[in-house]
Structure 1
Amino acid sequence: MRTLAAWLSVAAIAFPGAAAALEFRSVSEAAVLYDAPSKQGKKLFVIQTGTPVEVIVGLDQWTKVRDAAGTIAWIERKSLAAARTVIVTAPTAEVHEQADAASPLVFRAEKDVLLEFGEKLSSGWVRVKHRDGTSGFARAQDVWGE
């Protein structure tokens, strides 16, 4: 008879990522991304302040992350903030007053614009806020990092 732990480990291999909830953070200050969890690793590129990243795994002072483009790299844990942002991945994201395309349009955000993350609704919308203070709801499919 298999134990629950054995079943879960088999399920994790058969369905990687299925059991884990996604964890997103944002970059608190411009930081270098590395190919290994060490400053002796190869420097890949600098990631800008506010960029959302998906946390894959943490090791001591380092965190392995994935960005919106799918790049996987290591960042120093101290460079990550608990505050969350999303990045517009669609050519244009329309932000409405309510989580409804028929509600009044508040603003449009172009691709690669960073927005403050509020909450993700089960209806497929995300509450967002622009740095100018304007807020509303964008379709979850138009942003990444939620």
Structure 2
Amino acid sequence: MYSRFFLSAAPKAAIALAIALAAFATAAPATAQQTGSINRGASGLPLPRYVSLKATKVNMRVGPGSDYSVAYRYLKNGIPMEIIQEYDNWRRVRDADGTTGWIHSSLLSGERTAIASPWREENSPDDTVILYNTPAAAAGVVAYLEPGVVGKIASCDGAWCELEVGYESRKLRGYVNQAELWGAYPDEVIK
């Protein structure tokens, strides 16, 4: 699982506004992806797009600047984030839980990572994601991944992603159905 701490509480009106803005932000990027049109941010890079956290400790702020209060603090590098907006050197991002906020671009990396089925409930009958040795459902099983496991994407062909999971001393590499990951768009090809 990835680590995130909630640092401040917001009044009910601010929470309602944040929910409304998040719903709007969620709908707009999906439409752009489905229609094939490419929106570009101030950096010239496409929006939305996935990146990952570069640093071990990253503050997510409520606005695009260090003067804004910290809403969350992430305590692990490599966590995937979806950039949905750009302002100067700040990126408005969304995490796998749907939380949005602003992170300075220097704390983000273009390295692609993904989270195994963060939307699944733990301890349900189908709570694991299978890491296969080849990109096929009939292939041999390398490992069973719990929801929330983060891995590095080596490549995706639009249906399967080659994923590396584990730590320095024990890394596993295999293939996961792309629909089971948060960090790669449906049908996206990553080389």
TM range (shorter): 0.7 to 0.9
4+ runs deviating over 3 angstroms = none
Of 161, 170, 176, 1:126 maps to: 161
Within-5 A mapping of 1:11-30: 16-18=31-33, 19-20=37-38, 22-29=48-55, 30=57
**Counterpart residue identity of residue 139, structure 2:** S
Render the CA deviation track for 1:19-55: whole Å, top value 9, x for unaligned.
2364111001120001100112121111231110011
- The reply to whether residue 31 of structure 1 matches residue 46 of structure 2 is no
**Counterpart residue identity of residue 65, structure 2:** S
Render the CA deviation track for 1:49-72: whole Å, top value 9, x for unaligned.
111001112222211111111111
CA distance in 2, matches of 1:111, 1:26: 18
Aligned match of 2:138: 102
Unaligned runs of 5+ in 2: 1-27, 39-45, 121-126, 185-191
Unaligned runs of 5+ in 1: 1-12
**Counterpart residue identity of residue 130, structure 1:** V
CA distance in 2, matches of 1:43, 1:129: 31
Aligned match of 1:114: 150
**Counterpart residue identity of residue 74, structure 1:** W
- The reply to whether residue 63 of structure 1 matches residue 99 of structure 2 is no
CA distance in 1, matches of 2:31, 2:140: 40
CA distance in 2, matches of 1:75, 1:98: 36
Using the size of structure 1 for normalisation, the TM-score is 0.82
CA deviation after TM superposition for structure 1 residue 17, in Å: 2.3
Render the CA deviation track for 1:95-134: whole Å, top value 9, x for unaligned.
0011111010011111111101112222x21110113321
CA distance in 2, matches of 1:51, 1:17: 24
SS of equivalent residue, structure 1 residue 130: strand
Using the size of structure 2 for normalisation, the TM-score is 0.64
Overall identity of the aligned pairs, in %? 23
Of 126, 135, 145, 2:173 maps to: 135
**Counterpart residue identity of residue 49, structure 2:** E
